[in-house]
């Protein structure tokens, strides 16, 4: 099956390398305190929490679920209706008699800072692959090991995600969705500028001064240090995981030089900016763009005729987002029940039919729209996959990326 070959390519690259609304669920992120003063307390709380987790039973709930997630990453409210899929938030709440309180973040680093601060009782988070590595590191200790016995639907996961480098033992995380990042673009704008997108596009649409000049003020880039500096690194022919300061400096310089041409750094509304005509080129995640194209299409209008998505020919980033229980959790059993709920075959199908991202849930395939399963913008070709990298944990060098991004954005 082609899908399995694609997922095999995903995992092979992992080994080589080491994103609506029920209309009232957003909360304000909490601020934190001093790590030095609370180290002992955190260790004790972690031990007590792990004991709670180990005692959880299938379908058990121990309170409402505080879910800290990316924006537009689970179908609920009016958008679930718009997409013609099940409102998974309402379904979970009705099925288990608890509420889901959602808080949203735009990048992994923001989420990490909130969990480190410890001020908000998040029960479940959805970090990306490299961030799981960071948070599960024993010296960091921000995740607890999940209780597999409380998640019987783990059997639905593709075994190709076993023994992944971001979580080699598979004890700290469960796959949620996977995808790519690249460019969404308006065909008419590229036509007018004489860009031959039929033979592939380039990161030069942002970083090459001459190529990008026609799009000045009409470009958006993700507000994400690893994604956006990663794009610059790929354009230069370097790895997105470089720890060579000279290479990072070069990437910083070309991003900084492109600032006058970039209208916005945005990780939440990059697709909306493109669809509204405020940009004509947007750096973002495939599912965000494709979902918007689909929603804009009607019986009389096909948005896919006006807008496209592609991973630039120099290559880009492929990622897996995962569900994990942080040490801030107060309701870990409800978190486990929610993980099991997401791994249900039908629920997993509704999730991908809403997000337009790859599903790591094999049992969900029969419930995924055949057009989505067959779309290479969702499930990339082997040729594209060969050019992609996962973002890896670079240890202390991550601070260099943070500093570089701040410098580049000015």
Residues 71-121 have pLDDT tens digits of 999 999 999 999 999 999 999 999 999 999 999 999 999 999 999 999 899
Task: Please name the residues in contact with 199: beta carbons below 8 A apart, sequence gap of 6 or more.
Answer: none
Q: Examine the domain organization and report whether 400 and 265 are in the same domain.
A: yes
Provide the 10 A C-beta neighbour count for residue 388.
Answer: 22
Among 123, 119, 175, 144, smallest CA distance to 334 is for 123
Tell me how far apart the terminal alpha carbons of the chain are, to the nearest angstrom.
Answer: 47
Segment (H or E) for 317: strand 316-323
pTM above 0.85, yes or no: no
Among 15-24, 214-223, 341-350, 364-373, whose mean pLDDT is lowest?
15-24
pLDDT of residue 45: 55
Res 129 pLDDT > 50: yes
Q: Examine the domain organization and report whether 291 and 359 are in the same domain.
A: no
Q: Examine the domain organization and report whether 350 and 290 are in the same domain.
A: no
- Give Cα separations from 237 to 224, 226, 233, 263, 333 (angstroms): 20, 16, 6, 25, 46
Q: Examine the domain organization and report whether 364 and 258 are in the same domain.
A: no
Q: Examine the domain organization and report whether 310 and 326 are in the same domain.
A: no
Q: Mean pLDDT over all residues of the chain?
A: 90
pLDDT of residue 47: 86
Q: Examine the domain organization and report whether 254 and 204 are in the same domain.
A: yes
Is 131 within a domain?
Answer: yes
In this structure, what CATH number is given to the domain that contains residue 207? 3.40.190.10
Q: Examine the domain organization and report whether 308 and 336 are in the same domain.
A: no
Res 231 pLDDT > 90: yes
Task: Please name the residues in contact with 237: beta carbons below 8 A apart, sequence gap of 6 or more.
Answer: 314
Please give the Cα distance from 270 to 180 (Å, whole number). Answer: 15
The predicted-structure confidence for 298-317, as pLDDT tens digits, reads as follows: 999 999 999 999 999 999 99
Is 328 within a domain?
Answer: yes
Is 385 within a domain?
Answer: no
Task: Please name the residues in contact with 378: beta carbons below 8 A apart, sequence gap of 6 or more.
Answer: 179, 286, 287, 290, 356, 357, 358, 372
Q: Examine the domain organization and report whether 164 and 197 are in the same domain.
A: no
Mean pLDDT of 271-297: 97
Q: Please, are residues 144 and 49 in contact by the beta-carbon 8 Å criterion?
A: yes
pLDDT of residue 170: 92
Please give the Cα distance from 278 to 260 (Å, whole number). Answer: 15
Res 22 pLDDT > 70: no
Is 45 within a domain?
Answer: yes
> 22-55 burial, b for 16+ CB within 10 Å, e for fewer?
beebeeebeeeeeeeeeeeebeebbeebbebbee
Res 3 pLDDT > 50: no
Report the number of distinct structural domains present in the chain.
2
Read off the pLDDT band of 162 (50, 70, 90): confident
Please give the Cα distance from 124 to 65 (Å, whole number). Answer: 8
The predicted-structure confidence for 184-202, as pLDDT tens digits, reads as follows: 999 999 999 999 999 899 9
DSSP one-letter code for 372: H
Q: Examine the domain organization and report whether 184 and 172 are in the same domain.
A: no
Mean pLDDT of 51-64: 98
Is 151 within a domain?
Answer: yes
- Give Cα separations from 312 to 5, 234, 341 (angstroms): 22, 9, 36
Q: Examine the domain organization and report whether 271 and 223 are in the same domain.
A: yes
Q: Examine the domain organization and report whether 110 and 149 are in the same domain.
A: yes
Q: Examine the domain organization and report whether 282 and 394 are in the same domain.
A: yes
Is 172 within a domain?
Answer: yes
In which domain, by residue range, is 82 found? 2-176+322-380
pLDDT of residue 229: 98
């Amino acid at each position: 099956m082609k899908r399995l070959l694609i997922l095999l390519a995903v995992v092979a690259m992992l080994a080589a390398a080491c994103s609506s609304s029920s209309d009232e669920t957003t909360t304000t992120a909490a601020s934190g305190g001093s790590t030095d003063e609370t180290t002992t307390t955190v260790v004790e709380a972690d031990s007590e929490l792990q004991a709670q987790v180990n005692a959880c039973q299938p379908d058990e709930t121990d309170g409402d679920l505080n879910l800290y997630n990316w924006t537009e990453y689970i179908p609920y409210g009016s958008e679930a209706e718009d997409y013609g899929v099940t409102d998974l938030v309402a379904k979970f709440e009705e099925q288990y008699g608890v509420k889901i309180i959602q808080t949203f973040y735009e990048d992994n680093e923001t989420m990490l800072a909130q969990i480190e601060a410890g001020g908000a009782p998040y029960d479940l988070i959805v970090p990306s692959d490299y961030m799981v590595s960071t948070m599960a590191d024993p010296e960091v200790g921000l995740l607890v090991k999940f209780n597999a016995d409380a998640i019987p639907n783990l059997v639905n996961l593709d075994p190709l995600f076993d023994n992944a480098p971001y979580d080699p033992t598979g004890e700290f995380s469960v796959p949620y969705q996977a995808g790519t990042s690249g460019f969404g673009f308006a065909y008419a704008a590229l036509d007018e500028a004489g860009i031959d997108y039929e033979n592939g596009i380039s990161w030069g649409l942002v970083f090459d001064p001459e190529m990008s000049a026609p799009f000045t003020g009409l470009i958006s880039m993700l507000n994400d240090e690893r994604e956006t500096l990663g794009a610059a690194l790929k354009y230069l022919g370097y790895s997105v995981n470089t720890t060579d300061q000279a290479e990072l400096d070069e990437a910083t310089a070309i991003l900084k030089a492109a600032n006058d041409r970039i209208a916005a750094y945005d990780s939440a509304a990059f697709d909306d900016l493109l669809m509204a005509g405020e940009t004509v080129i947007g750096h973002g995640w495939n599912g965000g763009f494709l979902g918007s194209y689909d929603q804009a299409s009607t019986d009389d209008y096909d948005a896919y005729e006006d807008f496209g998505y592609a991973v630039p020919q120099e290559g880009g980033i492929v990622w897996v987002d995962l569900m994990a229980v942080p040490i801030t959790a107060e309701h870990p059993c409800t978190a486990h029940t929610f993980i099991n709920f997401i791994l249900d075959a039908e629920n997993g199908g509704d999730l991908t039919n809403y997000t337009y991202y790859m599903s790591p849930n094999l049992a969900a395939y029969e419930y995924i729209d055949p057009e989505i399963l067959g779309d290479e913008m969702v499930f990339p070709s082997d040729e594209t996959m060969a050019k992609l990298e996962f973002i890896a944990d670079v240890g202390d060098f991550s601070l260099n990326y943070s500093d570089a991004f701040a410098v580049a954005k000015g």
